[in-house]
Structure formats: C-alpha cells, structure tokens
C-alpha cells in the first residue's frame, strides 16, 4: 500500500452479523496499527438472492464478491466467517489472520424452553444446513426438519410462529447479543460443527502480507491456537470434497501440555447421510511436543510452521480414514441409480449422480 497514512479499508458483507464481526476485527486492527479504519460494505450474491444456497452454487457465494473487491483494490483486507469460505485458494490472496475463535458449537433455540430431548414428536425444526439436518434426524428421527434461509434475526423470528425451533451457531448469537434465545447448547457429540465454525478469517492481497506493516498487524491479531485447529478442520473438508458429497463436520481442540504429557491436537471429523440414517465419525490425535514454548516466543516462525503442517496432516489423514470407511457411500450414492461407467459408444461417463 502506498498511502501509508490513509485509513485501512476493511471489506465486509452488510448483514448485522457480518458488520458486528467485522467491527471486532476493525477494532483489533486499529489498535494493532494505530491507523484509522474504515468499513467498506460489499454486496454479495448470497445476500442478493432469495434462492436456496445450493441452487445458487452453495459455498463461496458470500466470499466471491469480497474477494473481487480485494483484488480490485477497493479494500485492503476482508473479513469472512471462516465456515462460509471455500477451501480452494484464490490466486493473489491469502488468509493473513485467524483471530481468536468464539464458541464453536451449535445451539437450539426452541419455544417453551424445549431441548433436543424434550421437543415433542413431529416438532418442526428449521435449518438450511444439510449437516445440521442430518444430525438432527439422527438424534431425533421423529421431528420434521424444515429447510429455511435468511439472516439470524429472521430465523429466530419464526420460532413460535411456523417453527418450533431453529439450530444456529453459538458464535453468531454471542456476537449479536442474542444468547437469551438459546434453550440448549449442543455438544459436539450430538451436533458436530462445521469446519471453521465460530472463527473469522482476515484475507488480504498476498503481496501486502510479507515484509510489510500490514503483515505485522495481521500477525498481532492472529491466534496460533485458532490457526492450528481451523487448518486441521479445513484439511478434512478439502480432502473429503474431492471424494464425497456428504455433509461434512469437523472440530479440533488444542489441549495444552500437562506435566510430562505434551500438548495435543484432537480432531473429530464426520460425514452424514442427509436423510439422517447413517453417519461416520472418527477421532484423530497428534502430539505437538514443545508447542506452548514456541507459541509464546513470537519469533520462532519455523517451529510454528512445523506445527501447522502437523495440523494439516492430521486433517488429511482423518479424512482419508473416513473415505476408506465409506464416506462417499454415506453421501447417499444409491448404487441402483448410478449410470453404467461406459455407455454404448464406449465413452467414459462421470461416475454416479451429482448431488
């Protein structure tokens, strides 16, 4: 950046949740840099369209416009909800900071104080997420899952109206100050969260990140612990996306060193049949010997890189194990509908239906 005294321009979506999240990052970057900050609202296809998310291309609809704004130089950094961010890298852009993560869990917001256990049979529960729908059906095959869209406030407003409950991310409700609507916090053994849930990612142009002031500020607002856990979770997603269309969930936790036991990264990953009849969940652990020491000593970047690649490897191997155990089949590939691999003309066809 050439105008070193100009305000830092921070790209954001315009929803209440996005603005709230971006303001926390803007405050942190303002404090780290001593510079003025300015929010740049970018309207995304996901905000414009009332169509279902899967109909307009699923993941990435929220991120694409922010990324275009960054590449066009309309803002200096952009703030994303990490779980809405596709795993494929964008040429010229880098995720420069993962600020400390908020609550990773999902919550139930139900009428009459109901919990997952006390919801009456036939209760109508709203969610737009196949991952949440599948796990709801697994836990309570007798409830009706209703596909909904819209921002957090709209979804909450339907509880007690045409719905009995909705499932939302704890992080969003926390940031919006709406926790009073929560009737149950769902632990990860009941509702494994989306990879990256509760975390934000601060993206910038790659050329602005290295050997620059912006790079220094980004490192100040970055949490190594968050980075380790979300990299492991997103490695699961990236690896599974190649071979499986099932809803994916993953959550990693960094357990500090305890006495002689070194720090450990614990990863739980799962895929679910959208109909809620089958699931595959696995746990993997990697020791991170020496981690607390190198995290405190800020200069030891090389050591940090070692741990980051251990985290990614953990995610990849957890996903490979799920694929070996039949993750692609859990996605609901009904074998009797799969077209023959070779048609009459002898040409290869793509294997199986596209979900």
Ligand X SMILES: NCc1[nH]cc(CCC(=O)O)c1CC(=O)O
Catalytic positions are: 84
Residue nearest to ligand X (CB): 172
Among 110, 145, 171, 280, binds ligand X (CB under 6 A): 171
Output the smallest distance, CB 167 to ligand X, in A. Answer: 8
83 binds ligand X (CB under 6 A): yes
> In terms of CB distance, is 62 or 307 closer to ligand X?
62
Choose among 206, 198, 1, 196: nearest CA to 89. 206
Residues 6+ apart with CB under 8 A from 336: none
Query: E strands along 48-117, which residues?
Result: 77-81, 93-97, 106-110
Biggest distance spanned by C-alpha atoms of the chain: 68
168 binds ligand X (CB under 6 A): yes
- Of residues 126-145, which lie at the interface with ligand X (CB under 6 A)? none
> In terms of CB distance, is 73 or 153 closer to ligand X?
153
Among 198, 270, 276, 332, binds ligand X (CB under 6 A): 198
> In terms of CB distance, is 149 or 220 closer to ligand X?
149
163 binds ligand X (CB under 6 A): no
Output the smallest distance, CB 169 to ligand X, in A. Answer: 3
SS3 track for 119-134: CCCCCEEEECCHHHHH
Integer angstrom CA distances of residue 144 from 17, 55, 120, 123, 127: 27, 22, 11, 6, 11
81 binds ligand X (CB under 6 A): yes
Total of residues contacting ligand X (CB under 6 A): 10
8 A C-beta contact, residue 301 and residue 353: no
User: Which of the 8 DSSP states describes residue 258?
Assistant: B
> In terms of CB distance, is 35 or 83 closer to ligand X?
83
Q: What angle do CA 176, 67, 243 make, to 5 degrees?
A: 90
> In terms of CB distance, is 8 or 191 closer to ligand X?
191
Output the smallest distance, CB 224 to ligand X, in A. Answer: 19
Output the smallest distance, CB 181 to ligand X, in A. Answer: 12
> In terms of CB distance, is 84 or 286 closer to ligand X?
84
The C-alpha atoms of residue 204 and residue 75 are separated, in whole angstroms, by 9
Candidate segments 79-87, 111-119, 246-254, 346-354, binder of ligand X by CB under 6 A: 79-87
Among 169, 191, 235, 248, binds ligand X (CB under 6 A): 169
Phi/psi at 258 (5° precision): -140, 105
284 binds ligand X (CB under 6 A): no
312 binds ligand X (CB under 6 A): no
Among 197, 226, 245, 294, binds ligand X (CB under 6 A): 197
Which contacts qualify for 316-319: CB closer than 8 Å, 24 or more apart?
316/235, 316/236, 316/239, 317/284, 318/232, 318/236, 318/250, 318/267, 318/269, 318/282, 318/284, 319/235, 319/236, 319/237, 319/238, 319/239, 319/240, 319/269
Output the smallest distance, CB 69 to ligand X, in A. Answer: 19
Start-to-end CA distance of the chain, whole Å, equals 43
Residues that bind ligand X (CB under 6 A): 81, 83-84, 152, 168-169, 171-172, 197-198
């Amino acid at each position: 950046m050439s105008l070193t005294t100009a305000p830092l321009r921070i790209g954001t979506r315009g929803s209440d949740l996005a603005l709230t999240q971006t303001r926390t990052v803007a405050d942190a970057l303002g404090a780290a840099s001593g510079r003025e900050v300015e929010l740049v609202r970018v309207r995304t296809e996901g905000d414009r369209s009332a169509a279902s998310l899967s109909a307009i291309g699923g993941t990435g609809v929220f991120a694409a416009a922010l990324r275009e704004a960054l590449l066009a130089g309309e803002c200096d950094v952009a703030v994303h909800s990490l779980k809405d961010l596709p795993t494929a890298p964008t040429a010229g852009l880098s995720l420069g900071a993962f600020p400390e993560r908020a609550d990773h869990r999902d919550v139930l917001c139900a009428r009459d104080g109901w919990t997952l256990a006390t919801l009456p049979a036939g209760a109508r529960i709203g969610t737009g997420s196949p991952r949440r729908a599948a796990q709801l059906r697994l836990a309570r095959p007798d409830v009706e899952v209703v596909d909904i869209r819209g921002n957090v406030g709209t979804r909450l407003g339907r509880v007690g109206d045409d719905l009995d409950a909705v499932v939302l991310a704890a992080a969003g409700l926390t940031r919006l100050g709406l926790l009073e609507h929560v009737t149950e916090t769902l632990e990860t053994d009941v509702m494994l969260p989306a990879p990256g849930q509760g975390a934000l990612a601060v993206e910038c142009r790659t050329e602005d990140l290295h050997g620059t002031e912006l790079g220094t500020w980004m490192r100040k607002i970055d949490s190594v612990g968050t980075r380790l856990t979300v990299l492991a979770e997103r490695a699961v997603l990236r690896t599974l996306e190649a071979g499986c269309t099932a809803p994916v969930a993953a959550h990693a936790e960094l357990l500090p060193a305890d006495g002689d036991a070194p720090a450990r990264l614990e990863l739980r990953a799962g895929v679910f049949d959208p109909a809620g009849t089958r699931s595959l969940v696995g746990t993997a652990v990697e020791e991170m010997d020496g981690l607390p020491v190198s995290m405190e000593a800020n200069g030891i970047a090389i050591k940090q890189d070692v741990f980051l690649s251990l985290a990614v490897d953990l995610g990849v191997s957890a996903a490979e194990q799920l694929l070996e155990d039949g993750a692609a089949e859990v996605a609901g590939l009904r074998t009797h509908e799969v077209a023959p691999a070779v048609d009459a003309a002898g040409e290869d066809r793509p294997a199986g239906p596209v979900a």
